[in-house]
Amino acid sequence: LEQAKEKYEQVKFDMNMLNNMTHRKSSRQRRFTFSPEPSIEDIRRMQADFTDERDWNKFHQPRNLLLAMVGEVGEVAELFQWRGEVAEGLPDWTESEREQLAHELSDVLIYLVELAEKCRVDLPQAVLRKMALNRLKYPASKVHGSAKKYTEYKD
């Protein structure tokens, strides 16, 4: 029964995602969207080719990839450090600062995808499952407009 409930929630979530993607309208400005290419699988394949061409697989073990990714997250954090709150869209940033952010975020994503590959985690499927769990943990009817943790909500 629990598996059936999870599967139902998964299908419901997937349908909502598709509906939101095709019919999303907001009273606020439209949300930023990513380009459809490359896919996460494309990124995985490109990075695998990159490391294979350099014979770096012996160095790209899960622990090393995790530590490298954390280092890159630190570099992203440095770009935001001492700025106070930063407005969405980064209107006060220079083009050079935006480009640096794009580079560092790309490094984080590349390491994340390679770490997931080495750990045999199918990221797109894991994201779908995790978002379905989050929908159960944080039902919109209970949490709308609140930032409380799920343990603070009463049933």
CATH topology of domain 38-82+94-138: Helix Hairpins (1.10.287)
Q: Which residue has the higher pLDDT, 2 or 152?
A: 152
- Is 114 exposed, middle or buried, given 0-12, 13-18 or 19+ CB atoms closer than 10 A? buried
Domain limits, the chain: 38-82+94-138
Contacts of residue 21, Cβ cutoff 8 Å, sequence gap at least 6 = none
Distance between CA atoms of residues 23 and 51, nearest Å: 40
Q: Which residue has the higher pLDDT, 138 or 112?
A: 112
- What is the per-residue pLDDT for 104? 99
Whether residue 86 contacts residue 80, with contact meaning beta carbons closer than 8 Å, is answered with yes
- The tens digit of pLDDT for each residue in 19-73 reads 555 444 444 568 999 999 999 999 999 999 999 999 999 999 999 999 999 999 9
Whether residue 7 contacts residue 90, with contact meaning beta carbons closer than 8 Å, is answered with no
3-state secondary structure of 4: helix
Q: Which of 80, 140, 67 is nearest to 108 (CA)?
A: 67
- What is the per-residue pLDDT for 26? 46
Mean pLDDT along residues 129-155 = 88
Mean pLDDT along residues 134-138 = 92
- What is the per-residue pLDDT for 24? 44
